Structure 1
Amino acid sequence: MILEFDLGNSRSKWRMLEESRVVDRGVTDDVSSLALDHWPVSRIRVASVVSEALEQKLVTWAQRTLKITPEFARTSASCAGVKNVYAEPHRLGVDRWLAMLAAYSQCDAGVLVVDAGTAMTIDYVDRGGQHLGGYILPGLRLSEQALLRDTSRVLFSEPVVPSTTPGCSTGEAVRHGGYFAAIALLEKAVSQGRTLLGEDARALIT
């Protein structure tokens, strides 16, 4: 059995695999509080964008609780047919790298990969596996937080259902505006993807 972790900016997620089948999964704010020692784990695999201190916290927990040292995915110059465009490959976030590798493995054409998390990332990989570069932007929540934090009169407390219709209150204008901007961005990314990658390119969103 393999225990996998995705240590992200906002939260940490884990899942248990048995012969590539997910048998359990969850979300945690503190990996050291997890009680997973009832599983016969043989390996621990980690994708991480957190600090070395938080990574070490996971290592300490895994070694103490499961007697296993985790294996951390790292970005490389090339892997699984994908070639990293960065001059310093290790500076590309491993979350973007793994998403590109997974997307490319599922497609027989160029692929546009969008990861909408704390940050929104957009990457292009052509049919031959060449990474053409990408974009990193604030995600929906970060964009909204920045607007509310850095303005004095844009305030609201009522719950707002996300939509792209024009807002009829400050809350709607803010939240709908964020969704409107994100969708407009994705439409532009898809259009650019067709130009860079060909009309048969795929778009994968996570």
Structure 2
Amino acid sequence: MLLAIDAGNTNIVFALCDGDEIKARWRIATDPRRTADEYAVWLKQLLSLEKVKFKQVDAVIIGTVVPRALHNLSLLARRYFKVEPLVAGHGAAAWPMTLDVPEPDTLGADRGLNIIAAHAEHEGDIVVIDFGTATTFDVADYTGAYKGGVIAPGINLSLDALTGKTAQLPKIAIEKPDDDSVIGTTTHSQMLIGVYWGYVAMIEGLLDRTKKEIGRPVTVIGTGGLSALFPEGMFDAIDFDLTIKGLMMLHKQATS
């Protein structure tokens, strides 16, 4: 079995994969100080719930945008699973697509993995919008070549900045407003409208400009947990497992 690890700025997702199937997935807060031993104790309990032992995991692949977390995740693979991990974008797991940008080495692992999976599942030009710590737009043409994208503050990051820098605004949870009105009558509703409909307007505006720039039909794929909040029709598809699927595909290619 394959253990696919997606280490993001906020959370690390561990996915247990068997062939093309994701058997289980677990999430833990990202902490670069967390040791391989701590990961192992946590994972052992979760694997046991799936009736899986460490020795049944015979491959590990890591995609990370947190360089400081890579050492202990790699040590986890070597010490407890007795395998040398693949690292997305490096060595045998180098990116299989053309990176048509002036600084290809700066592409975040999650963004590269999203492009791999989205291109494999959708024809033509694609735009992947990932709602994570940052909200990212990534563009690939019909050949799968990465053409660039956009990085914007994530929804929760914007909300934290708003409440952290103001004395009287309360902390609120992001959710879809009760109706389509953009005139709030309470502080809470005004904040929710500003964040939610503000992001809808940003996404719609950037997508409109992106599609015009590409000049061909485009498939828009949403990923990340918050993608489910947005109006139907904004995306052609939503795939919460896109990054993990990219890790699975990259592992298969690197080992075939």
CA contact (8 A) 1:119 1:139 kept: yes
Which residue of 75, 80, 87 corresponds with 1:65? 80
CA contact (8 A) 1:127 1:197 kept: no
Change (3 A) 1:135 1:161: closer
The structure with the largest strand share of the pair is: 1
Aligned twin of 1:162: 176
Counterpart residue identity of residue 191, structure 1: D
Change (3 A) 1:17 1:113: same
Aligned twin of 1:34: 43
Which residue of 55, 62, 78 corresponds with 1:46? 62
> 1:34 aligns to what SS in structure 2?
helix
Following superposition, the deviation at residue 199 of structure 1 comes to 4.7
**Deviation per CA, 1:121-141, whole angstroms, max 9, x where unpaired?**
012222233433211111110
Asked if 1:103 corresponds to 2:118, the answer is: yes
CA contact (8 A) 1:110 1:198 kept: no
Aligned twin of 1:128: 143
> 2:157 aligns to what SS in structure 1?
helix
CA contact (8 A) 2:101 2:147 kept: no
Counterpart residue identity of residue 125, structure 1: A
Distance in 1, Cα, partners of 2:171 & 2:144: 46
CA contact (8 A) 1:111 1:197 kept: no
Counterpart residue identity of residue 10, structure 2: S
Aligned twin of 1:186: 203
Deviates more, 1:167-176 or 1:43-52: 167-176
Aligned twin of 2:191: 174
Deviates more, 1:156-165 or 1:35-44: 156-165
CA contact (8 A) 1:75 1:94 kept: no
**Residue-pair matches, total:** 202
The structure with the largest helix share of the pair is: 2
Counterpart residue identity of residue 200, structure 2: I
Change (3 A) 1:75 1:187: farther
Distance in 2, Cα, partners of 1:105 & 1:197: 20
Relative contact order higher in (CA < 8 Å, ≥ 6 apart): 2
Deviates more, 1:58-67 or 1:27-36: 27-36
TM-score by length of 2: 0.71
Unaligned runs of 5+ in 1: none
Following superposition, the deviation at residue 110 of structure 1 comes to 0.7
Counterpart residue identity of residue 214, structure 2: L
Counterpart residue identity of residue 210, structure 2: G
Distance in 2, Cα, partners of 1:159 & 1:79: 37
Distance in 2, Cα, partners of 1:69 & 1:168: 57
Following superposition, the deviation at residue 8 of structure 1 comes to 0.8
CA contact (8 A) 1:75 1:97 kept: no
Change (3 A) 1:89 1:170: same
TM-score by length of 1: 0.87
> 2:66 aligns to what SS in structure 1?
coil
**Deviation per CA, 1:88-142, whole angstroms, max 9, x where unpaired?**
2111111111111211222221111111111000122222334332111111100
- Identity fraction in percent: 27
Following superposition, the deviation at residue 160 of structure 1 comes to 6.8
Unaligned runs of 5+ in 2: 224-256
> 1:143 aligns to what SS in structure 2?
helix
Aligned twin of 2:235: none
